[in-house]
Amino acid sequence: MNWGRKWSLQTRILILVVASSVSVLGIMEWIATLSAVHAIEDSVATPTASAARTLAGELTALPSTRFPPEYQERVREVRELEPNVVRVDVYGDTDGILNLLQSSSTRWSRAPNSQEIAAFHSGRAETFKVTDGSATKIFSSYPFQFADGRKGMVTVVSSLWAVNDVLAAHLRIRLYFVLGTIFFFVAAIVLVFRTSVYRSVRQLVEVMNRFRSGELSARADENLAGEFGELASHFNRMLEEIQGFNDHLKQQVKAATHELSSRNRQLQGLNSILYETQKRLSQAERLALMGQLTATFAHEIGSPLSAISTHLQMLLEDSHLSPQVRDRLGLANDQIDRVCSIVQNLLTSTRQPVRKFLVELEEIVRKVVHLLEPTLESRRIRFDFQGFGGPF
């Protein structure tokens, strides 16, 4: 999970400040503690070395086999003057091996360590630190020669118990100081957030919610603390731009709606015109089909009726007909003329523009000749036609 979303800004800043403070203060206190420890070690090592040198000077006048009360008194004085001194050991050389000859400690004897042996063989005084578990001590070894010519070495041991006390004191002080610093930073950050950040952020969020709910005139207070005032100023300018964009968008939507309504009305008008046109076209198609059917019917009926009328006229010209038959033939001819008149009227009402097309002229002439043949014979007229196939 993203800790930036899980924790608030105040919590994140508090964690950052506390972690930084603890780290910086811890490092500073650690450096200060090391400096104090080194200073204490130096302050203990210097008098320890001085005590070893002093005692070595006292021992050079004594034989290696006897340590008079004056020497013991001198050791007590050294320990009284230097309270950190816990032990004084005197070693003598026996066939190259250091043996403990005298010690201010009656509880236990100890063998010299490697650094003491190295100092004895080198013939130089050495001061060094030895850590044994939790105890740290300063050893100062000073080689010398007894009055009887035997080589010896005195080692003064000082305890660094003060270092532990200093470390404990520094630990307590560091803990109190860190806790106080953390408390101060937490209180300061919470106070700053409560008095400035929370108020400013809450005011900006409130204005944002009002603007989102439709109150386009809502604006943030530009007199907020610190950078929040500048942020509020930029926020207000952004709201003004959004409002201007919103107004412009509304105008565009209104204009587009008006244009769409106008185009819709035009489309409705065009649809009406198209419907009427389609209706008229359908009616015209029906009328044209009716006219075509009528013309075809009139043409197909007119030709036989003309042939019948011609033959009736030829029969009426026959002088051998009785008056009764002649009247009947005249009546039939009148009715045929009436039908021919009706057909002619239909052809006239449905006549379409003249359209030219190729026809078989010879076939047409043959049909006309067959229709006129009785009339021509009755008038004793002879008709010859020279077609593609010869005379007929």
List, in order, residues 6 or more apart from 201 with CB less than 8 Å away. 228
pLDDT at 6: 60
The model's pLDDT over 292-323, given as tens digits with 9 standing for 90+, comes to 777 777 767 777 777 777 777 777 777 777 78
Side chain identity, residue 381? I
Structure tokens at 85: 């001194």
Q: What is the pLDDT of residue 91?
A: 92
Cα–Cα distance, 79 to 159 (Å, whole number): 12
Element (H, E) at 99: strand 97-103
pLDDT below 70 — which residues of the chain? 1-10, 133-134, 162-164, 166-167, 170, 196, 198, 224-228, 299, 347, 349-357, 371, 387-392
Which SS3 state, helix, strand or coil, does residue 176 take?
Answer: helix
- Measured over all CA atoms, what is the biggest interatomic distance in the chain, rounded to whole angstroms? 210
H helix or E strand, kind and range, residue 313: helix 227-316
Separation CA 222–CA 230 (nearest Å): 7
Three-class SS state of 108: coil
45-56 per-position pLDDT tens digit: 888 899 899 899
For the chain, list the domains and their CATH numbers: 3-184 (3.30.450.20), 283-391 (no CATH)
Residue type for position 233: S
Question: How is the beta sheet containing 135-145 ordered, strand by strand?
Answer: 97-103, 85-94, 151-159, 135-145, 126-132
| 157 φ, ψ (degrees, to nearest 5) | -110, 125
Reference 62, options 122, 135, 147; nearest CA is 147
